[in-house]
């Protein structure tokens, strides 16, 4: 009997087809429904990209107006949800708060178990609107600040920043935020998206899939890396320590957060676009010191390990400059990726097969109680 081939971490395993995005490491490209993500980041609003990922085509102006209207109408947190958030200790990580909040949003929806495409789209838009409200409110309560109500005059990105900071920042900041949201929105069968698909494959509801995906995204090998990058920057302190810090970290076999990728081995296709946005923020906030640290660590990592940065490397410091608390960075990733997750939930449900792989047993041989 030959032992079955086991691919640890399912590396290189093609689990299913998808029409939502294409990651091509050879050409270093990422397409959402056929469009290069860089073009979308340059030209589109986040709402347009959400529509594209859900429906397969960019919206007409009427469709976009409709989406904007429903997103704006869904931004208020219910008093019950606020009360639950208020009761969660601030020792809990914001990802845990968000996980709990999304679970409650699902429990409050009397149609949670309806799984037609139309019902799923309604839920997806509801989450699109509610997640920023939760993330903004949680950061504010941790700072001892009051809730800022949503502003129906503002688009998604502006309103998110308004609800977090009580004002809409300069266009250069809003734009960098919009770019980050578009770049984070979708990335094929990454760990959290695959989690969402596994949950959907049992015919569980969309909210359960998103709650599970939030759990998967929290880890530092996945979405938690954008937060972890900022902790690394804080540990290093200033640029001249970068090389010595890296030597120590590598000597103690640490994984350097924000570097490396399971799929991209010659660079993450999203990095140049996000790095350009970071450069504009560095200029705006006059923080050349941050850029110097960024550049020196990247160069040292290239020289020592020949490993390149992933999207979390530029987005971490970008969110820091925008004024977000470090622990809020991964919830920002959720706000964006919830679009990709829900697109995958709908795709999985439309042509479902229960996801249930096999395992090779390597425990003790059969034995008996004596």
Active site residues: 222, 261, 312
The residue sitting closest to ligand CMC, measured at its beta carbon, is 260
Residues 240-259 that bind ligand CMC (CB under 6 A): 255-259
Closest to ligand CMC by CB, 261 vs 275, is 261
User: Does residue 92 interact with ligand CMC by CB under 6 A?
Assistant: no
**Residues 152/157/159/161 CA torsion (nearest 10 deg):** -170
Between CA 341 and CA 337 the distance in angstroms is 6
Q: How many residues lie near ligand CMC (CB under 6 A)? A: 20
Residues 165-204 that bind ligand CMC (CB under 6 A): 190
The CB-of-222 to ligand CMC minimum distance in angstroms stands at 4
Compose the 258-297 pattern: x for residues touching ligand CMC by CB under 6 A, - for all others: xxxxx-----------------------------------
Closest to ligand CMC by CB, 115 vs 256, is 256
DSSP 260-302: --SS-SS--TTHHHHHHHHHHHHHHHT-HHHHHHHHHHHHHHH
CB atoms under 10 Å from CB of 170, counted, come to 11
Closest to ligand CMC by CB, 105 vs 277, is 277
Write the burial class of residue 41 (CB in 10 Å: 0-12 exposed, 13-18 middle, 19+ buried): buried
Residues 300-339 that bind ligand CMC (CB under 6 A): 305, 307, 310-312
Q: Which of 222, 275, 296, 344 binds ligand CMC (CB under 6 A)?
A: 222
113-131 b/e (C-beta count within 10 Å ≥ 16 → b): eebeeebbbbbbbbbbbbb
Residue 26 in contact with residue 191, Cβ under 8 Å? no
Q: Which residues bind ligand CMC (CB under 6 A)?
A: 9, 190, 220-223, 225, 255-262, 305, 307, 310-312
């Amino acid at each position: 009997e030959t032992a079955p081939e086991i691919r640890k971490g399912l590396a290189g395993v093609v689990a299913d087809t998808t029409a939502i995005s294409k990651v091509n490491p050879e050409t270093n490209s990422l397409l959402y429904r056929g469009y290069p993500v860089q073009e979308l980041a340059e030209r589109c609003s986040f709402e347009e990209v959400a529509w594209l990922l859900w429906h397969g085509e960019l919206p007409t102006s009427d469709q976009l107006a409709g989406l904007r209207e429903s997103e704006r109408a869904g931004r208020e947190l219910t008093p019950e949800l606020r009360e639950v958030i208020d009761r969660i200790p601030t020792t809990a990580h914001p990802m845990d708060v968000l996980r709990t909040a999304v679970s409650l949003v699902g429990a409050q929806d009397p149609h949670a178990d309806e799984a037609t495409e139309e019902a799923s789209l309604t839920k997806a838009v509801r989450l699109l609107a509610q997640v920023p409200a939760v993330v903004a409110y949680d950061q504010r309560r941790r700072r001892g600040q009051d809730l800022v109500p949503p502003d129906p005059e503002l688009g998604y990105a502006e309103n998110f920043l308004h609800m977090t900071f009580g004002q809409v920042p300069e266009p250069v900041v809003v734009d960098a935020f919009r770019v980050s949201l578009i770049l984070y929105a979708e990335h094929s069968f990454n760990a959290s998206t695959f989690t969402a698909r596994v949950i959907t494959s049992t015919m569980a509801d969309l909210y359960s899939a998103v709650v599970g995906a939030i759990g998967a995204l929290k880890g530092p090998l996945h979405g938690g890396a954008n937060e972890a990058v900022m902790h690394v920057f804080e540990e290093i302190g200033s640029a001249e320590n970068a090389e010595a810090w890296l030597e120590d970290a590598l000597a103690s076999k640490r994984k350097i957060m924000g570097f490396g990728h399971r799929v991209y081995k010659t660079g993450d296709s999203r990095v140049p676009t996000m790095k350009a946005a970071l450069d504009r923020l560095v200029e705006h906030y006059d923080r050349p010191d941050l850029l110097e640290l960024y550049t020196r660590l990247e160069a040292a990592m290239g020289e020592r390990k020949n490993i390149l940065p992933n999207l979390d490397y530029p987005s971490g410091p970008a969110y820091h400059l925008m004024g977000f608390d470090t622990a809020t960075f991964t919830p920002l990733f959720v706000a964006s990726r919830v679009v990709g997750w829900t697109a995958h939930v709908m795709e999985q449900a439309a042509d479902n097969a229960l996801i249930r792989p096999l395992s090779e047993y390597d425990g003790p041989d059969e034995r008996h109680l004596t």
